[in-house]
Chain A
């Protein structure tokens, strides 16, 4: 059966795929239909009624945004009657709209402004008694109801894409407004997506408000650096002050297709300032000459990683990066079964999925883009989502259809059970089939706390699903049995229709793991830290021995969760030295850091494309044309799984290294607008177990470290696991994210 529908728009023969609306098809064919409320990434709001068209044989007008075409129908988009209808809609939109375009933040990029001019509405023909409408201050977001045109885009993205479901329309005819849902004030994750989609100046960023105008800002296309999603964004800069030095004013994105979390949108001001200081430079050279190792973080570009790798060979030193090394090992084990280097899934495949298993990550704070993709899948495809984790997440409760709560530390057992369930009818090699047949399911069930009925419920709810995705996260990388877990993941991907997404921890964990030859971290003398701790630190954060540009002051590439090589550009200039200058001293010379883009390892899947040839935009139909996807790399594979070990037990007070939403790293910690909640957050049950109460200062001891934090009671949490933020602290990525800890109340003298 053919799925395409042939019909005509304005006499032009066009084709629609099943599920496409008339408007989508028209746009694809370059036929213009004006809209005010339509946004491609959500279901149609159908509130503006401006997209009306005429269909032959149908009385009255048809809304093109939510009407699918039928075979052979003739659509007309432009008649005098339609024009009159649209002009009248514009006239109504303009009734009592405040004439404050001169100061309004949206002026110059305002849909209402554009459409008013387009339809030539030069005067107000209708009247309505204006009402007093107070401006609402919702923290990072400001809402001005008198500017609001009730297009409902904000409500749709909040509900369908983000999943916060924090705002709704309060219906009341002319006095309708947007209000926080079931709350006095806005209580959400502050992704700011509502600001982005607002076609007028009703929803604006409080920080940006009245500080600049659209026509003064220059846009720099870049990639967000806060998590491994690498979302597309645009830094907007403008000169300020008498000297006219550039500064960052805000971040915007192509909201029609892409989304950003609050960290990307509000956490942009992490730039570093330094002047060239030869003395410091010589100190850095000396430190590198004497160094035994360089310890670095994954918050660097591929090119920097490449320079570090060249330095390693040149100077004969070691490279420490536990985060990337653990990821590398995980991938290595994965490849040993799957026979390829890169996982098969992507954010797009999650959006298209109708059955998803998320395991080993608190995804809403680890990688908001995955959460948004899950929300999209859930709302648009009715996807069934299984969330397997030792802790519930209140942010996921609207999206998740089945919570699979397992015991801390039993990930190996859980993935074995999942694999056994998923692969029960699969055509497995003999040795693997017998491996699964020999599993002691009763023991695994009992120890991991995943019941047989939970697994069969999952299978039943996934029964009719066509696009299945398994998402695994960073809990598993540093797990003692991570190798075997990776092999199970590979088994599932290889022998079932599931695609696999392995969520890297940092923006370029994946890139670093492909480029650098890493050594296991050990406490040696003379370690140079590059964006990490060391005896001599070279970093883009505060308090370092030598300053280097932050990631919004550099050009280069990252590899994100989709295995895509994404370019980023310089938003602000940096006057000091860079890693490339240091490397030049050791004979690793190239004029610019980005000259290395072409030289990135072909064995890891990089292509020989120069940085300047990489595109960085979304096409008008939302296709991601940024950078390129890594080539698939074949590895030798063997179908082998290790014997399961006894599942460990984590009793007592356990902490989980997990940042609050919108906090990720030292950059977000430096950002002016983002909330910096450095408290240990736990449930009442945890407080009782640790004998502490809300507001206490506590000393937390885990591994060989002791830190002091304030304890905060969080009513959204349950169980005896508390969340310990890492964005303001050194996070040891070589350790499993759950830690048995000793918690002592600090008594004030």
Chain B
């Protein structure tokens, strides 16, 4: 994704300009004058002409949601995703429960157990989106970069409680195999040149 549009913070190019606003009329006579002026000036038709012109040339300034959608920033915090490991396609979540602990709206529930390979397995993981305030603490605290925020912001529901299950959040295995898993670039994400900082265990035997 091209981040240019988000990274350009230089507002001075187009420049700010001051809007001239006249003082509000205070006397009755001034108020009457303003009404007359507004009623009989052609500014109304200027506005109508702009609309008519744009209708004729089809130069639209809005997008037709839901067919079209605005691109959103990589750090946007929408519905959570559970990532997989690139090297093994295995789930990244180790079930440490820190997300549940840190969650300030108390909407995450995690249960873990020991699986048949004596590994820690997440047996139940739910997020109640009806309570979630999308603060991003869960993604921030996650030691494995497992839970992240995705770009899926359309979670309208016909009921207040809306539960997200682990399976729904997990990157689908076919998407993973296709290498299409997107990394979250928000807070807590790996910074560039991380590899160079890794301290290796000596193996001099």
Residue contact B111 to A103, C-beta cutoff 8 Å: no
Expressed in whole angstroms, the minimum distance between the Cβ of B49 and any Cβ of chain A is: 59
A213 lies within 8 A of B205 (CB)? no
Contacting pair B202 A103 (CB below 8 A): no
Chain B residues engaging chain A, CB cutoff 8 angstroms: 94-98, 100-101, 106, 109, 111-114, 118-121, 124, 126, 143-144, 163, 199, 201-205
Would you give the shortest CB distance from A93 to chain B, in whole angstroms?
Answer: 15
Q: Are B111 and A215 in contact (CB under 8 A)?
A: no
List which A95-128 residues lie within 8 A (CB) of chain B.
102-103, 107, 122-128
Contacting B101 at CB < 8 Å: which of A122, A215, A241?
A: A215
Q: State whether A127 touches B203 (Cβ < 8 A).
A: yes
User: What band does the interface of chain A fall in when counting residues whose beta carbon is under 8 Å from B?
Assistant: 20 to 34
Instruction: Say yes or no for A603: interface residue by CB 8 A criterion.
Output: no
Closest-CB distance, A47 to chain B (whole angstroms):
25
User: B144–A102 contact, CB under 8 A?
Assistant: yes
A19 to chain B, nearest CB (A): 45
A-B contact pairs, 15 of them (CB 8 A): A103-B95, A103-B120, A122-B199, A123-B199, A127-B201, A127-B204, A128-B205, A211-B111, A212-B97, A216-B97, A216-B100, A216-B101, A242-B109, A242-B163, A244-B106
What is the distance, in angstroms, from A106's C-beta to the closest C-beta of chain B? 13
Contacting pair A242 B205 (CB below 8 A): no
Q: How far is the CA of A68 from the CA of B144 in the complex (A)?
A: 48
Task: Evaluate contact between B109 and A244: CB separation under 8 angstroms.
Answer: yes
- Pair A210/B97 contact, Cβ less than 8 Å: no
Q: Are B109 and A239 in contact (CB under 8 A)?
A: yes
User: Which chain A residues lie closer than 8 Å to B101 at the CB level?
Assistant: 215-216
CA–CA, A242 and B130, complex, Å: 13
Residue contact B113 to A211, C-beta cutoff 8 Å? yes
How distant is A699 from chain B, measured CB to nearest CB, in Å? 42
A426 at the B interface (CB under 8 A): no
Residues in chain A near residue B98, CB distance under 8 A: 215
**Cα of A191 to Cα of B114 in the assembled complex, Å:** 22
Determine the residue in chain A with the shortest Cβ distance to B203: A127
- For the complex, what is the distance from the CA of A210 to the CA of B96, rounded to whole Å? 9
Cβ of A240 within 8 Å of any chain B Cβ, yes or no, is: yes
Asked if B202 and A124 sit within 8 Å, CB to CB, the answer is yes
Contacts of B203 in A (CB 8 A): 127
Q: Is A129 located at the chain interface by the 8 A CB criterion? A: yes
- Chain A 177-213, CB-CB to B under 8 Å as 1, else 0, gives 0000000000000000000000000000000011111
Please give me the residue from chain B that is nearest to A124 by CB atom: B201
Determine whether the beta carbon of B124 is less than 8 Å from that of A241. yes
A584 CB–B CB distance under 8 Å: no
> Is A689 among interface residues, defined by CB-CB distance under 8 A?
no
Chain B residues with CB under 8 A of A239: 109
> Which chain A residue shows the least CB distance to B161?
A242
Question: What CA separation (Å) do A244 and B107 show in the bound complex?
Answer: 10
**Pair A127/B112 contact, Cβ less than 8 Å:** no
A102 to B101, CA, bound (A): 14
Contact of A210 among B113, B124, B201, B205 (CB under 8 A): B113
Shortest CB-to-CB span from B94 to chain A, Å, is 5
Pairwise interchain contact B202-A127, C-beta atoms closer than 8 A = yes
Pairs of residues from A and B, 10 with the lowest C-beta to C-beta distance, nearest first:
A210-B120, A103-B120, A210-B114, A127-B202, A102-B94, A123-B199, A102-B96, A213-B97, A129-B205, A124-B201
Q: Give the CA-CA distance A189 to B152 in the complex, in Å.
A: 55
Q: Does A241 lie within 8 Å of B111, measured CB to CB?
A: yes
Q: Are A240 and B113 in contact (CB under 8 A)?
A: no
User: Cα distance A244–B121 when bound, in Å?
Assistant: 19
A240 to B119, CA, bound (A): 20
- Identify which of A125, A127, A215 contacts B205 (C-beta below 8 A): A127
Using known A-B contacts A103-B95, A209-B114, determine if residue A241 contacts B199 with beta carbons closer than 8 Å. Answer: no
Check if A135 is an interface residue, CB within 8 A of chain B. yes
**A211-B112 in contact (CB<8A):** yes
- Residue on B with the closest CB to A137? B118
A210 and B112 contact, CB distance less than 8 A? yes
**Which residues of chain A in 548-572 are interfacial with respect to chain B, using CB atoms and an 8 Å cutoff?**
none
Shortest CB–CB separation between residue A521 and chain B, in angstroms? 47
Nearest B residue (CB) for A95 = B201
Q: Which residue of A lies closest to B102 (CB)?
A: A215
Which residues on A sit within 8 Å (CB–CB) of B205?
127-129
Q: Which residues of B contact A125 (CB under 8 A)?
A: 202
A140 to chain B, nearest CB (A): 14
Per the bound structure, the CA–CA distance linking A241 and B96 in Å amounts to 16
CA–CA, A209 and B114, complex, Å: 7
Instruction: List residues of chain A with CB within 8 A of the CB of B126.
Output: 242
Contacts of B97 in A (CB 8 A): 212-213, 215-216
Name the residue in A102, A123, A128 with the highest tally of chain B Cβ atoms < 10 Å from its Cβ: A102
Q: Would you give the shortest CB distance from B84 to chain A, in whole angstroms?
A: 16
Q: List chain B residues, Cβ under 8 A from A122.
A: 199
Chain A nearest CB from B109 CB (Å) reads 6
> What mask results when residues 428 to 447 of chain A are scored 1 for a CB within 8 Å of chain B, else 0?
00000000000000000000
Contacts of B124 in A (CB 8 A): 241-242
New A-B contacts (13) at CB < 8 Å, excluding given A210-B112, A241-B124:
A103-B94, A123-B199, A125-B202, A127-B205, A129-B205, A135-B118, A209-B114, A213-B97, A239-B109, A241-B109, A242-B109, A242-B124, A244-B106
Q: When A103-B120, A209-B114, A210-B112 are in contact, do A126 and B95 touch as well, CB less than 8 Å?
A: no
Q: How far is the CB of B198 from chain A (nearest CB, A)?
A: 10
Chain B residues with CB below 8 A from A210, complex form: 95, 112-114, 119-121
The contact of A103 among B96, B106, B109, B201, by CB within 8 Å, is B96
Q: A123–B201 Cα gap in the complex (Å)?
A: 8
**Bound complex: CA of A192 vs CA of B111, how far in Å?**
24
Q: Known: A102-B96, A242-B124, A242-B126. Contact between A212 and B112, CB under 8 A?
A: yes
Docked pose: A209 CA to B95 CA in angstroms: 12
User: B120 — which chain A residues lie within 8 A by C-beta?
Assistant: 103, 210
In the bound complex, what is the Cα–Cα distance between A126 and B204 (angstroms)? Answer: 9
Closest chain-B Cβ to A742's Cβ sits at a distance in Å of 48
The smallest beta-carbon distance between B82 and chain A, in angstroms, is 15
Closest to A103 in B: B120
**What is the chain B residue whose CB lies nearest that of A243?**
B109
**B144 nearest CB neighbor, chain A only:** A102
B30 to chain A, nearest CB (A): 64
Residues of A contacting B118 with CB < 8 Å?
135
Q: Which residue of B lies closest to A244 (CB)?
A: B109
CB distance from B56 to the nearest CB of A (A): 56
- Chain A residues contacting B95 (CB-CB under 8 Å) are 103, 210
